[in-house]
Amino acid sequence: MASPIISIRNVSKTYTSGFQALDNINLDIHRGEIFALLGPNGAGKTTLINSICGLVNLTAGQVTIDGFDNVRQYRQARRCIGLVPQELTAEAFEKVWNTVSYSRGLFGKRPNPALIEKILKSLSLWDKRNNRMLTLSGGMKRRVLIAKALSHEPPVLFLDEPTAGVDVELRKGMWDVIRGLKQEGVTIILTTHYIEEAEEMADRVGVIRQGRLILVEDKHTLMRSFGKKQLTLELKQALTRLPDTLQDPHIALSADGRQLVYTYDTKDDTADIAALIDRLYRAGVVYTDLHTRQSSLEDIFVDLIKETT
């Protein structure tokens, strides 16, 4: 297997306040993947990103980026990274084209107007290139920050809450941009509060809680192994209680007695829908409709966070 593009070994961070924000994190990021870092507020996501990018001094441990140690070889390591911070900071009076070109210059790269044009076009910012930053909407400002982060052609892009406060349509547009970057070979690490965002895009998911990485898993494997399915039957007549023949830990009656919900593991071969239907028939339970629902990454995430509380 190819060497990881980022390697994080035994990383801990205790702020000067004495607060331990990261506790012995070990993680490899694969080349070309989209890795989503999930966790509740204050879990340590931004601290981890900032630690990798060399913006936070590590208390212990080591990070290498494309083989470069992010402390001893800071300049080389930093060149490999584009960082889009959570906060929308921008030079208000600067024009879009200038601010993006300037960012490239900061990394000692020669001007490359054709590249800047390509980046601005891919982010639908081309017609805004002569606008001053203060005239842009929040969604546009965020895209300018992505353009700045990409201006020096880094192989790795960090996106801290890329779609926070962005409306649904723009969020979907942003997802397309991120997918496009992956197709160009950029490795992407993002944090998000919108679990749907991770479900939509991530190849792998990491869950961080109270400074500890409690799970790292391929998204599809995670959804298969933790996923549950629910079969809901709309009853013709409300029941006051479940008939004795239907007493089963997998079967529940809704509070109003109008729905019967059968929950089963997607990987459980013993889940037998035909047998359930037969039991309902024998118990004289008549239903008018039925539908199934697969648990989302959000359900899994909420369960995970609960379990480790």
Ligand X SMILES: Nc1ncnc2c1ncn2[C@@H]1O[C@H](COP(=O)(O)OP(=O)(O)OP(=O)(O)O)[C@@H](O)[C@H]1O
Cα torsion at 303, 15, 79, 11 (round to 10°)?
-60
Site for ligand X in 3-22 (CB under 6 A): 15, 17, 19, 21
Strand spans (E) along 49-181: 60-65, 68-69, 81-84, 156-160
Measured from the CB of residue 181, what is the shortest distance to ligand X in angstroms? Answer: 22
Measured from the CB of residue 180, what is the shortest distance to ligand X in angstroms? Answer: 26
Site for ligand X in 38-57 (CB under 6 A): 39, 41-47
The stretch among 34-42, 197-205, 274-282, 285-293 that binds ligand X (CB under 6 A) is 34-42
Q: Using an 8 Å Cβ cutoff, are 222 and 203 in contact?
A: no
Measured from the CB of residue 19, what is the shortest distance to ligand X in angstroms? Answer: 5
CA distance 130 to 127: 8
Q: Indicate the helix (H) or strand (E) that contains 207.
A: strand 204-209
Q: Is 256 exposed, middle or buried (0-12, 13-18, 19+ CB in 10 A)?
A: exposed
Measured from the CB of residue 20, what is the shortest distance to ligand X in angstroms? Answer: 8
Q: Which lies closer to ligand X via its Cβ, residue 17 or residue 240?
A: 17
Q: Which lies closer to ligand X via its Cβ, residue 39 or residue 154?
A: 39
Measured from the CB of residue 45, what is the shortest distance to ligand X in angstroms? Answer: 3
Size of the site for ligand X (CB under 6 A): 12
CA distance 155 to 297: 28
Q: Which lies closer to ligand X via its Cβ, residue 19 or residue 74?
A: 19
Q: Which lies closer to ligand X via its Cβ, residue 42 or residue 180?
A: 42
Q: Using an 8 Å Cβ cutoff, are 113 and 121 in contact?
A: no
Nearest to 258 by CA among 285, 284, 234, 228: 234
Q: Does 102 bind ligand X (CB under 6 A)?
A: no
Contacts to ligand X by CB under 6 A: 15, 17, 19, 21, 39, 41-47
